[in-house]
Amino acid sequence: RAGARVAVNYVRREGPANSLVREIRDAGGEAMALAGDVARPEEARQLIRDVVAAWDRLDILVNNAGIWEEDEAGAGSLDVWDRTLAVNLRGTYLVTDAAIPHLAKAGGAIVFVSSTAGQRGEARHAAYAASKGAIISYTKSLAAELGPRGVRVNCVAPGWVETEMTSGALSDRESREAIERSIPLGRVATPAEIAGPVLFLVSDLARHVQGEVLNVNGGSVLAG
């Protein structure tokens, strides 16, 4: 709706990716689905090459790949730690690193997706919180480094959002009510309420915004 051509990345679940592509096309947009495991260097680089080959340029990168798994402290959950950081942090780095030359050429923008967990920590989800906290630091580092090259770099930090990833916690009535009580606005965000701030950050309305971590959490974490 805002005029961008959209490349949707997926690893194994081609069906949902294609559904999103159809939704974008039905709304009058242009989109394609591209397979690739962002945690694998060659696949991450190929993902960017495929976008540039199809559309001759890359203006916007939104890093949203992520997993959220429980890891109890002291339980030796090294596999969860490694898997979470591989997708959430290593994958973010690999795709971004491959995209930077093209974004610099286009005067483009990057938006990272962190989380309230990366700002305050989260019990039983230390790996996820660590990965999202690192993304905030990565945002600020790249903002300082890439600003002189004409690339804007910012971040959104959502709280609870109605997604498949959070459906387990939100489908339980008591859990959901407790979560909603912790949010000053009294409800969980919709995906569209995260997409709006992302769109703002990549638009000309935010052309002098750099290194910002935009909280989109209904007031649950009031981080400056």
**Two tokens at 66?**
């992520």
The mean of the pLDDT values for the chain is 95
The pLDDT value given to residue 224? 60
The yes-or-no verdict on residue 48 having pLDDT over 80 is: yes
Indicate the pLDDT class of residue 41, thresholds 50, 70 and 90: very high
Distances (CA, A) of 183 to 70, 159, 171, 217: 22, 9, 17, 8
Q: Is 56 exposed, middle or buried (0-12, 13-18, 19+ CB in 10 A)?
A: exposed
Give catalytic residue positions.
115, 128, 132
User: What is the pLDDT at residue 206?
Assistant: 98
Q: How far is CA 103 from CA 46, 186, 187, 217, in A?
A: 16, 38, 36, 29
- Tell me whether residue 113 is exposed, middle or buried, using C-beta atoms within 10 angstroms of its C-beta: 0 to 12, 13 to 18, 19 or more: buried
Q: Region 68-82: what's the mean pLDDT?
A: 90
Whether residue 151 contacts residue 110, with contact meaning beta carbons closer than 8 Å, is answered with yes
pLDDT of residue 57: 97
The rounded percent of the chain whose pLDDT value lies above 90 is 86
Distance CA 167, CA 177 (A): 14
**47 lies in a domain?**
no
Look at residue 154 and tell me whether its pLDDT is greater than 90.
yes
For the entire predicted model, the pTM comes to 0.93
80 within 8 A of 128, measured Cβ to Cβ:
no
pLDDT at 109 over 80: yes
- Residue 139 confidence class, pLDDT cut points 50, 70, 90: very high
Residue 167 lies in a domain: yes
pLDDT in tens, 116-133: 999 999 999 999 999 999
In the DSSP assignment, the letter for residue 71 is: B
**Both ends of the chain: CA-CA distance in Å?**
31
* Residue 222 falls inside a structural domain: no
Residue 19 covered by a domain: no
Q: Into how many domains does the chain fold?
A: 1
CATH number, position 135? 3.40.50.720
In a domain, 84, yes or no: yes
Please say if the pLDDT value at position 166 is more than 90: no
pLDDT at 130: 97
Phi and psi at 190, nearest 5°, equal -90, 160
Task: Tell me, yes or no, whether 14 lies in a domain.
Answer: no
Identify whether 28 is part of a domain: no
User: Residue 117's domain spans which residues?
Assistant: 58-216
Q: Does residue 3 belong to any structural domain of this protein?
A: no
* The two three-digit tokens of residue 145, written as one number: 């480094």
Torsions phi, psi of 175, nearest 5? -65, -45
pLDDT reading at 164 higher than 70: yes
